[in-house]
Amino acid sequence: MSKLTHFNEQGRAKMVDVSHKEETVRVAIAKSSIIVNEEIYNQIAEGTNKKGDVFAVAQIAAVMAAKNTATIIPMCHPLPLTGIDVQFDWFIDRETNHFEILIQSEVKTKGFTGVEMEALTAASAAALTIYDMCKAVGKEMIIGQTMLMKKTGGKNGDYER
């Protein structure tokens, strides 16, 4: 029976022992999104084409947050990340006036445990940063669902949503 592994016999949080696990290449892909209004869409789109690229700031925030994951998530293992990338796309439905930035992060390590948390944290940091860069124009933006899309490496088997 599976159980919450992050608790010790006193019922308090611990960082699970992974000393016995194999150091292998592990990859995780996560996604998030942020729904903006048309005015913000226009201003980001212009900035991306010319200068003032909101996504450039969000990208860097994501990369730095991925490296910083073990200090943000209390029971997360520190891992020597070997690669981080983040991609942005627009999903636009002009009929419903829907403007949504799709965020996808991919994180790699060669380490003792997976990098799901690093990928999720990167995607969240990107979304939060876009919010911060655009909040002077409107605070009603909504950060969309954030989830793990894929995970490979490690003996527990791969995962794909």
Q: Which of 17, 89, 132, 158 is catalytic?
A: 132
Half-sphere exposure of 59 (CA within 13 A, CB side): 11
Binds its own copies by CB under 8 A, chosen from 29, 101, 103, 141 = 141
Q: Is 96 in the site for its own copies (CB under 8 A)?
A: no
- Rounded distance, CA 42 to CA 55, Å? 14
* Residue 28 beta carbon to its own copies: minimum distance, rounded to whole angstroms: 10
Known catalytic residue at 132? yes
Tokens of 20: 């016995």
Minimal distance in Å, beta carbon 91 to its own copies? 15
Residue 128 binds to its own copies (criterion: CB under 8 A): yes
Helix or strand (DSSP H, E) at 33: strand 24-36
CA angle 85, 97, 62 (to 5 degrees): 15
Q: Check residue 80 for interaction with its own copies (CB under 8 A).
A: yes
